Structure 1
Amino acid sequence: MPQSQTQIAVIGAGPAGLMAAEVLAQGGAAVTVYDGMPSAGRKFLMAGRGGLNLTHSETLPSFLTRYGKAAPQLTAAIEAFPPERLRAWSEALGQPTFVGSSGRVFPQAFKASPLLRAWLRRLDAMGVQFKLRHHWTGWDESGQLRFQTPDGAIAIEARATMLALGGASWPRLGSDAAWVEMLAAKGVAISPLKPANCGFTVAWSDIFRDRFEGQPLKSVALSFGPRTVRGEAIVTRTGIEGGAIYALSADLRDVILGSGQATLHIALRPDLETDALIKRLSAPKAKQSFSNWLRKAAQLSPVGIGLLQEAAVASGSSLSSLPPENLAGLINAVPVQLNGVAPIARAISTAGGIAFDELDPGFMLRRLPSTFAAGEMLDWEAPTGGYLLQASFATGAAAGKGALKWLESQASGS
């Protein structure tokens, strides 16, 4: 079995791995990045397909609350590499940023590819080596890293290893979660991986599904429990997804996984006061069809009216027989029964991962000295809006610093 040596092996060429590689190389380490894909940053490019949302412009205290129960574990890393620093880093690569109307931060080029190309050029100039089409398969008996390559199996000796292999969403882009079994076999505690920022399944009627698949619900308000989110959602053939759904997905997912279902409420006209809506719905229908009258009176889209019809059928009532007060109440609280979570492979991100208790302050695995972990492998989740990439970059930088500090301690014998 052929063997080679490298000082630091970074496994995973996504944002966390590449940022760790940059920090390590800046610190003087010889770095080789390994990835199973034919090119680096596959999922990063996918994330930027509709506009690369790097981070968010809100104040740091508010920003940190987006990480929920993982905020205490992520705070130090994000404070050391906050949104302002990420924006400066992007600008230094020739990709200045701007703040959108929603507070989200994007590169002016709006795409991921120019930023990634510039970043890879910088890493190349720093001496970072890349070994692509190298699938990590664990360790051999002597502790060397094993990889399956187009030329067969190889073993690599490294002074330290940085794991940045992502979660389990979009596995065709490289994050297939094969690392879970490998680390669990070493005794590392891993919270079960679950879909995050995901869609949900709904038992739509055939008529509704065939007519409205792919149609957006615009300017709606979605409510679940005490939370209400404004935005958009999209009807899919099997259910519902979209930005406003993703914002509620953690709470919805946990309830559905526990009880098998959850009821989401959708306000189709959230900006219209109830009294004003009732007044509109009290207008005579004349000779109009009910749907046409409803479209004009309440200014509802066809998919919104279809959603109302679905709710009426499910409750065994007739939409046209409802008095204005009840109809107004339904329009701004349409119940949608969610009966399942969309597959993790289709989720935007992943919840669960390596428990933070398994890591020391430098992001080194306590059970595996010299092995570090960063990014989506760790047990955290966040909504879309720039929070996902920010934490990936920040934990990559923090783990890189942790690895440098550990190398220094080994060299000094402390």
Structure 2
Amino acid sequence: MTTVSVAEACSMFSTANDTAVIGAGPAGLMAAEVLAQGGAGVTVFDVMPSAGRKLLMAGRGGLNLTHSEPLPQFLTRYREARPKLEAAITTFPPERLREWSEALGQPTFVGSSGRVFPEAFKASPLLRAWLRRLGAAGVRFAFRHRWAGWDAEGRLLFRAPDGEGVVQARATVLALGGASWPRLGSDAGWVEILATKGVTIAPLKPANCGFNVDWSDLFRGRFEGQPLKGAALSFGSASVRGEAIVTRNGLEGGAIYALAADLRTAIESNGAAILQVALRPDLEQSELAKRLAAPRGKQSLSNFLRKAAQLSPVAIGLLQEAAIASGVSLSSLSPEKLAALINAVPIRLTGVAPIARAISSAGGIALDELDADFMVRRLPGVFAAGEMLDWEAPTGGYLLQACFATGIAAGEGALRWLKRIECDTPTRIVR
């Protein structure tokens, strides 16, 4: 992998096919790969000291690359953005992503949940192999380069430790990420730059995020950090089986993330949202009531619930929190009402966790601002991909799949742009 200084980066841009990719995450690296394979000279700029910082963090949990569910169902995960993303994902679907990973020496497997992971179960081997392949293809890297927009002549502006510089690129792919985990490079500094160019930006919001709950001090002190397993979480017509984690200020985890978009919208509109939790979703209410009708004897209520309903301590704690909130005593409830509560525990969510701690972010460049090639209509020769676009999806492989697919789409779009203007001079086509 070749790295260059800001002065070197500026001086290298002289041939007809020079392109700049800004952002060294999955979308940017995919765009760079497509461009290099298409014969373009590519330099990838990133504000961080190395590539793929957020990808490496995602790899701590096994690097969930994609999901194995059928493509029609897969595409529904992108909600309102599906019409704009469908072509890119259909062109580069999950099976092609798995083939791409295997070609890098990282075969994949399907987990019990249908999620797809590299057999190494981490990101670093894949990223190393990918960077080697990009380097062999001639892709250059300029790290610690913060993009600052364009100058009066339409050249890209960068600030780096060794100074400031301008780059005159014939095509540019923007892949700077959203606003989650800004310490890894995605700090949304691009929002104002594009907004001043008239590009419509939907407000950035936390996605796949935690939510706030006003726990009692007793519950928080005892159960912070503990998982709630085997539950079914519901909001509106949506229901999700999975795990949630009790945090000091609320709840987070995969099951929560799957409902996050609807929960966030409800809180924005109403100031709160009521999440329903079924603690024993596989047990019929009548059977549960029958078990709870057995004599308790001298057992404490908690011990009785643990044995009769097979509830964990944290599940029993949630029941007690719900009872306190409604001003009733669990011991005063009939077996039927207690059984009903066990499988419909209401939890009042009072707010959304900060975007800096979210897995991803919603909002970004409005998809209507892009043409079919992922070029920003107001900025000819400038393409955009990845999480800086206005889409969101739950965890489970959908996030990375869309980043890879849109990176490819933007790279291919940039190649078509270069072909159209190959007889022009660099100064004519830069914004």
TM-score, length-scaled by structure 2:
0.95
Name the residue aligned to 1:319.
330
Summarize the alignment of residues 4-403 of structure 1 with structure 2, pairs less than 5 Å apart.
4-6=11-13, 7-403=18-414
How many matched pairs? 414
Structure 1 residue 233, shift from structure 2 partner = 0.3
Amino acid paired to 2:294: A
Query: What stretches of structure 1 move > 2 A for 4+ residues in a row?
Result: 1-6
Matched, 1:407 2:418: yes
Distance 1:225 1:363 in 2: 34
| Seq. identity, % | 75
Distance 1:117 1:5 in 2: 25
What CA deviation, in whole Å up to 9, does each residue of 1:112-163 have, x standing for no partner?
0000000000000000000001111111111111111111211111111110
RMSD across aligned positions (CA): 1.2
What CA deviation, in whole Å up to 9, does each residue of 1:288-310 have, x standing for no partner?
11111111111111111111111
Structure 1 residue 108, shift from structure 2 partner = 0.7
Amino acid paired to 2:295: P
Distance 1:99 1:290 in 2: 42
The alignment partner of 1:411 has SS state of coil
Structure 1 residue 356, shift from structure 2 partner = 1.2
Structure 1 residue 5, shift from structure 2 partner = 4.1
What CA deviation, in whole Å up to 9, does each residue of 1:207-243 have, x standing for no partner?
1001100011000000100111001100000000000
Structure 1 residue 357, shift from structure 2 partner = 1.2
Amino acid paired to 1:302: P
Structure 2 residues not aligned, in runs of 5+: 1-5, 425-431
Distance 2:316 2:108 in 1: 40
Distance 1:295 1:56 in 2: 35
CA contact (8 A) 1:194 1:350 kept: yes
CA contact (8 A) 1:215 1:303 kept: yes
Distance 2:371 2:113 in 1: 36
Distance 1:269 1:309 in 2: 16
Structure 1 residue 355, shift from structure 2 partner = 0.8
CA contact (8 A) 1:55 1:390 kept: yes
Distance 2:134 2:269 in 1: 45
CA contact (8 A) 1:5 1:157 kept: no
Distance 1:275 1:260 in 2: 35
The alignment partner of 1:158 has SS state of coil
What CA deviation, in whole Å up to 9, does each residue of 1:61-108 have, x standing for no partner?
111111011111001101111111111100000001111111111111
What CA deviation, in whole Å up to 9, does each residue of 1:151-206 have, x standing for no partner?
12111111111100000000000000000000000000011111111110000000
Distance 1:31 1:294 in 2: 63
Structure 1 residues not aligned, in runs of 5+: none
TM-score, length-scaled by structure 1:
0.98
What CA deviation, in whole Å up to 9, does each residue of 1:393-413 have, x standing for no partner?
000001000000010000157
Name the residue aligned to 2:3.
none
